[in-house]
A = this chain, B = another copy of it.
Amino acid sequence: MGIIACKSPSSKMRALILNFATRIHKLGKDDPRRIVHSFKVALAITLVSMVYYVRPFYNGLGENGVWAILSVVVVFEYTAGATLCKSMNRGLATFLAGALGVGAKFLASLFGTKVEPIVLGCLVFLLVAAATFSRFIPQIKRRYDYGVMIFILTFSLVAVSGYRVDKIIELAHQRLSTILIGGATCIVISVCVYPVWAGEDLHNLIVSNLEKLASFLEGFGGEISKLPLDGDSVDSSSVPEKSFLTAYKSVLNSKAMEESLANFAWWEPGHGKFRFCHPWKQYLKIGVVTRQCGYHIEALSGYVDANFQASSSEYTKRVQEPCTNISSEAGKALKELAHSLKSFSYPSKCTIHLQTCKGAVEEVNTMLKASMVGELDVLEIIPIVTLASILIEIVKCVETIFVIIEELSEQAHF
């Protein structure tokens, strides 16, 4: 880009377009399912708009056919779970609110034509206020937020519309059938044509988060043993290969993503190796401990960046070896856990790495205990001692993750 900056406006334009095209290309390449999703939505809308062109449909539904298109646009989401959640919410809420609306209208008509609009206005006001407030209740917000919105919408429309009750029922029938057509089209296409499962995405996210932490720990083990040996050369030469040292950062902020995926996964039918009531909550638990572990790694990485060059004493080198061991064995254990989760198998090999890990922790502890050393500068040993104690905390996290995955394997029968 720097070279292009001093060129003519037309080549600037070309560069801008090229830049845009590269970004679009990257977006599609990163996750080709995005392109498939775009065509799926287009397919659904084109199919539903057939309602207009095919005579028998049009005669039955008339202009209400637009509601089918509206449903598709609003309901079709990226993952199958989200689509299911929204269409179920929409269908149920429309049905419920429609029935209540007709009831309200009937009730109001008993008061005579003059008072009717006032009674209806009051009813709408109260019900809308109550429903809007209910959207703040966490349980409702999590699973039925969209449904409550559609409830408010349909109830107001039915209660307010200028029609009489008999015409409303006909209208409601048309509305419901168009919504059913729209919703069913969405569900069928999103579940049957290259489905994107929220549950599978959650599974993969958790696995990849574990792998990121594992790569950090394994790589970091290597770094510990290299760092103080060849002082300055480290800063310049090993920078390009240090990508594994920053990849873990995305783990720290994955909470919102995990929770929304788990919510949508709840709506999904069984697929692949996931059955209908797969213990998704267990994944959230793994997520919490993974982030916990990530915080420790964050502290470790920030601390080591700043302080590690200072120490290269004999003592440091001695403690360093078991620390290297702890880090890489904890990394291997995590990788094993990620692998077992990925392949739905019991994490049996992990116990070996955890044993080696604990052995190394013991070794560090006894080494520190044994060193009642008179000739030691306390300031000198601080970095390695801090390092060791943070690593010990990380091992505890890995053990907790092991226990949770064990529980998961029991609940999901693998």
Contacts and interface: CB of A to CB of B under 8 A. Distances in A.
Contacts of A128: 38, 41-42, 45-46
B378 A160 contact: no
A137 B27 contact: yes
A95 interface: no
Nearest to A299: B299
- Tier of interface size on chain A: 35 or more
A43 B382 CA distance: 64
Given A73-B153, A295-B299, A133 B34 contact: yes
Contact of A386 (B42, B53, B386): B386
Nearest to A150: B73
Interface stretch (A183-191, A227-235, A251-259, A341-349): A251-259
A46 B125 contact: yes
Nearest to A302: B393
Nearest to A121: B46
A38 B393 contact: no
Interface string A125-136: 110111011001
Contact of A379 (B63, B298, B369): B369
A372 interface: yes
Contacts of A307: 389
Q: Which of A121, A129, A149, A291 has most B Cβ within 10 Å?
A: A129
Interface in A32-84: 34-35, 37-39, 41-43, 45-46, 49, 52-53, 58, 63, 66, 69-70, 73-74
Given A24-B133, A295-B299, A368-B378, 11 more contacts: A38-B128, A38-B132, A43-B125, A46-B124, A70-B157, A73-B153, A303-B393, A371-B378, A372-B377, A378-B385, A382-B388
